[in-house]
């Protein structure tokens, strides 16, 4: 391996820049050339390349988003698109890739690897923590810290006005963010797609907490939860059946994805970047770097994209106890 291409793809997440930096610096340390590929697979198809040395990644470890930009690219789903990408990589002398992204980006990488036997290692970058083979994806820790901080602020208003707040958080079809911030911010209820509480039981639970003397309530709702059609329907339902509450909705949206990465995500990104480059130089390919029991590990990409990480049942139990 003489020249490694690094790119970010799919949704951005805090820690991606720290991972780019780690890949570039490890290449410099091991005397391998490194090229940044802009806008993910789109930049590969358009030959949007820029050589990177150790100094080109100064002052980015603390930045959210991705300096290499990210994009969704439909052309890469076609054989012609991937052929163009391959020809461009060969013309540039790139002989291995590090992809930082989510399961869609890994699927693209796997298809490409199969077609051209091109060495690829993945680094999981998404706030949703929905990738098998790692207990943490890059950005999850930062996003949960961001959300907890906001819920603390919402709680100030909730308790001053005896209000009930439904706070919708990201996570696509899994409830990792919701469960963790719900426990971390002391929510009264946590609604996640992995466990359907049902509208009736939600109502019962809210009645109980009102009876027990609680003056305000925070209910964290995962965006993929199906208890109600959506979070506004939940509000209408509760207002209709439990008029004692003044109900408000807060959909947090994209502010959860931005911001400076936490120390945990910066350290994780650094460890993953080193492992990714070292693995390529050891001749490994088609693996995703992950962290399990605080060890940096490799999981075949095919496995990483198939299974979601399971929701933490023990944490659900803890949250049930905390909400009594």
Which amino acids are annotated catalytic?
Answer: 128
Give a three-class secondary structure readout of 111-150: HHHHHHCCCEEEEEECCCCCCCCCCCCECHHHHHHHHHHH
Interaction pattern, residues 72-101, with ligand ATP; x per rule: CB under 6 A: xx--xx-----------------------x
Shortest Å, Cβ 195 to ligand ATP:
22
| Torsion of the alpha carbons at 138, 167, 309 and 116, rounded to the nearest 10 | -50
Please tell me whether 266 is known to bind a ligand. Answer: no
Estimate to the nearest angstrom the gap between the alpha carbon of 183 and the chain centroid: 19
User: Among 36, 43, 64, 102, which residue interacts with ligand ATP (rule: CB under 6 A)?
Assistant: 102
Of 4-12, 49-57, 193-201, 209-217, which part binds ligand ATP (CB under 6 A)? 4-12
Shortest Å, Cβ 74 to ligand ATP:
7
Distance CA 96, CA 166 (A): 46
For the record, the structure tokens of 26 come out as 């490890």
Q: How far is CA 113 from CA 86, 116, 157, 218, 295, in A?
A: 10, 5, 52, 46, 26
Please tell me whether 187 is known to bind a ligand. Answer: yes
By Cβ distance, which residue is nearest to ligand ATP?
A: 104
Shortest Å, Cβ 130 to ligand ATP:
7
Please tell me whether 149 is known to bind a ligand. Answer: no
User: Among 41, 118, 140, 166, which residue interacts with ligand ATP (rule: CB under 6 A)?
Assistant: 41
Distance CA 196, CA 202 (A): 10
- The answer to the question of residue 111 lying near ligand ATP (CB under 6 A) is yes
Summarize as ranges the residues that interact with ligand ATP (CB under 6 A). Answer: 9-11, 41, 72-73, 76-77, 101-105, 107-108, 111, 126
């Amino acid at each position: 391996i003489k020249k490694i291409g690094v790119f970010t793809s799919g949704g951005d997440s805090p820690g991606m820049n720290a991972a780019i930096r780690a890949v570039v610096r490890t290449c410099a340390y091991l005397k391998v050339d490194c090229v940044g590929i802009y806008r993910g697979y789109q930049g590969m198809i358009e030959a949007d390349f820029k050589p990177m040395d150790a100094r080109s990644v100064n002052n980015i470890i603390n930045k959210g988003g991705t300096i290499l930009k990210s994009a969704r690219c439909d052309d890469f789903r076609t054989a012609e698109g991937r052929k163009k990408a391959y020809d461009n990589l060969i013309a540039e002398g790139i002989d291995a890739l590090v992809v930082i992204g989510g399961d869609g980006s890994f699927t693209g990488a796997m298809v490409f690897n199969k077609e051209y036997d091109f060495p690829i290692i993945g680094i999981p970058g998404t706030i949703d923590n929905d990738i098998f083979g790692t207990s943490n994806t890059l950005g999850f820790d930062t996003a949960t810290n961001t959300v907890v901080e906001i819920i603390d602020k919402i709680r100030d208003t909730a308790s001053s006005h005896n209000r009930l707040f439904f706070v919708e958080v990201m996570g696509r079809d899994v409830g990792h963010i919701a469960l963790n911030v719900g426990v971390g911010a002391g929510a009264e209820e946590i609604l996640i797609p992995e466990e359907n509480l049902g509208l009736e039981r939600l109502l019962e639970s809210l009645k109980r907490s009102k009876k027990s003397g609680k003056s305000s309530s925070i209910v964290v709702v995962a965006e993929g939860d199906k208890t109600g059609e959506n979070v506004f329907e939940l509000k209408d339902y509760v207002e209709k059946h439990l008029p004692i509450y003044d109900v408000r909705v807060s959909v947090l949206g994209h502010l959860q994805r931005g911001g400076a990465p936490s120390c945990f995500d910066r350290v994780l990104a650094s460890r993953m970047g080193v492992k990714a480059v070292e693995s390529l130089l050891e001749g490994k390919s088609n693996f995703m770097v992950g962290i399990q029991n605080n060890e940096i590990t490799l999981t075949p990409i095919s496995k990483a994209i198939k299974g979601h990480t399971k929701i933490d049942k023990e944490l659900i139990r803890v949250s049930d106890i905390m909400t009594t």
